[in-house]
Amino acid sequence: MAKCEVCAKGVTFGRNIRHQASGGWARRAPKTNRTFKPNVQRATVTEGDRRVQINVCTRCLRSMYRLR
């Protein structure tokens, strides 16, 4: 899976809990594993006089455009 080359953000893991888990302790809802995938895009960035393509998450891409 893709990883941001600026901040090294990658895939993280967590749990899915069903809506019925809001009841009492006697009704235990099943918990299943899931993945949180980052929004990684392939972007062209200019470094000096040359262009480089990097994998960058949208948060870093937004920060780059703001610094211009």
6 is a domain residue: no
Buried b / exposed e over 6-20, threshold 16 CB at 10 Å, is: beebeeeeeeeeeee
Enclosing domain of residue 31: 12-67
pLDDT at site 42: 95
pTM for this predicted structure: 0.71
45 is a domain residue: yes
pLDDT at site 52: 93
2 is a domain residue: no
Number of domains in the chain: 1
| Tens-digit pLDDT profile for residues 4-32 | 999 999 999 999 887 765 666 666 777 88
Q: Please state, in angstroms and rounded to a whole number, the distance separating the CA atoms of residues 13 and 15.
A: 7
29 is a domain residue: yes
| Tens-digit pLDDT profile for residues 37-46 | 999 999 999 8
